Amino acid sequence: MTKRKTSPLLMLKRFVVNVIKYVFLVCLCFIFIMPLLWMLSTSLKANAGLMEFPIKWIPDNPQWGNYAKVFRIVDFGTYIKNTLVTSLTPVLGVLLVTPMVAYSITMVPWKGAKVIFPIILATMMIPGQVTQIPMYITWSKLGLVNTYVPLILPFFLGTPYYIYLMRQFMKGLPNSLVEAARIDGANDLRILFSIIYPLCGPVLTTAGVLVFVGCWNDFSGPLIYIQDSAKYTIAIGLKSFTLSAKTQWELLMAANSVFTVPLIIIFFICQKQFLGGIATTSGLK
């Protein structure tokens, strides 16, 4: 681009447009972040100060004791430990199994590949409620209700959405890689885990984070299957705490912060792969 002399009027116009743009963006960002800031602000107030008007964003003397109180009432240590079990094991399952299935669909020339993929897409459309009740009946017949098996095992047996993600990514890899490896006499397990797997880094990270977050947030699964309070995940623990502390918003918001903030931290750490992964894999091409 060549530098052109701009008239002062045009410059003024550009300046005004820029100011409007930035003011708009700042306002929008404030609206989006406000609820979370208010959550943190509330969690540091005394119960009496909750109804104060006008609104105070930074409480006069922050009540860090709210967090201590919440940790005393709610057994967060156990809940977090339980939630880590129910969200890290599925990550392992997905990262192990879905690349295998996706490999079978994209890289192995067999007839089933063309049959399986449409079925996988179709199963994504089935409402969860349809399978939920019979599965509950089955798990209770097997005596596995109130264990983590119903929450974890499905992830070791191929979850459609993540197979789809993997497949979208693997389709972009050159097939010649696999063929060359085959000619060199590598077996398929080796091809998958030492050639394809390292290339799938971005999509594996995305899938891993999505699974982790999904399980950390999962509400209806533990709600149905976990009854013993010692086995509660953090979502269900928070739910039962909500019931007992109905109007103590400062405690509820403190508990809510404990639940939410780790996820936001994870997001900040994995942001690049995460947003990039979503953008590339959901390209629907």
Partner 1 sequence: MAKKIRSAASTGEPTLEKKHTKSVRQRRFFWIGFGFALPWIIGFCCFKIYPICSAIYYSFTDFNSFRSPNWVRLDNYTNLVQDKYVIKSLKNTAYMVIIGLPISISFAMLMSLVMNIKAKGMPLVRTILYIPAMVPSMASALLFMWLMNSRYGIVNQGLKEFYSIIPQAVKDFLPFSFKPPSWINDPKWTKMTLIIMGCWGCGGTAVIGLAALRGVPTHFYEAAELDGANRWTRFWRITIPLISPTIQFQFIMGIINMFQYFTQAFMFNMFTTTSQVTGGGPSDSLLFYAINLYREAFDYLHMGYACALAMVLFVIVMIVTFVAMKVSNKMVSYDIE
Least spacing, CB of residue 259 vs partner 1, in Å: 5
Give the residue among 208, 215, 161 at the shortest CA–CA distance from 225. Answer: 215
Least spacing, CB of residue 36 vs partner 1, in Å: 7
Least spacing, CB of residue 67 vs partner 1, in Å: 16
How far is it, in rounded angstroms, from Cα 176 to Cα 165? 21
Neighbour tally for 25: CB within 10 Å: 10
Least spacing, CB of residue 174 vs partner 1, in Å: 19
Nearest 5 degrees, angle CA 202-CA 207-CA 211? 150
User: Residue 69 or residue 239: which is nearer to partner 1 going by CB?
Assistant: 239
User: Residue 30 or residue 64: which is nearer to partner 1 going by CB?
Assistant: 30
Give the residue among 69, 93, 91, 113 at the shortest CA–CA distance from 252. Answer: 69
User: Residue 78 or residue 280: which is nearer to partner 1 going by CB?
Assistant: 280
Least spacing, CB of residue 164 vs partner 1, in Å: 11
User: Residue 231 or residue 248: which is nearer to partner 1 going by CB?
Assistant: 248
Least spacing, CB of residue 72 vs partner 1, in Å: 20
Name all contacts of 262-266 with Cβ < 8 Å and 24+ positions apart. Answer: 262/216, 263/213, 263/216, 263/217, 264/36, 266/209, 266/212, 266/213
User: Residue 42 or residue 231: which is nearer to partner 1 going by CB?
Assistant: 42
Query: Which residues touch 121 (CB under 8 Å, ≥6 apart)?
Result: 160, 164
Tokens matching residue 267: 């997001």
Least spacing, CB of residue 21 vs partner 1, in Å: 6
2: region left, alpha or beta (phi > 0 left; psi from -120 to 50 alpha): beta
Taking CA atoms, 285 is separated from 136, 183, 281, in Å, by 36, 30, 9
How far is it, in rounded angstroms, from Cα 110 to Cα 29? 50
User: Residue 225 or residue 231: which is nearer to partner 1 going by CB?
Assistant: 225
Least spacing, CB of residue 116 vs partner 1, in Å: 6
Residue 6 carries which DSSP code? P
User: Residue 120 or residue 231: which is nearer to partner 1 going by CB?
Assistant: 120
How far is it, in rounded angstroms, from Cα 36 to Cα 260? 9
User: Residue 231 or residue 250: which is nearer to partner 1 going by CB?
Assistant: 250
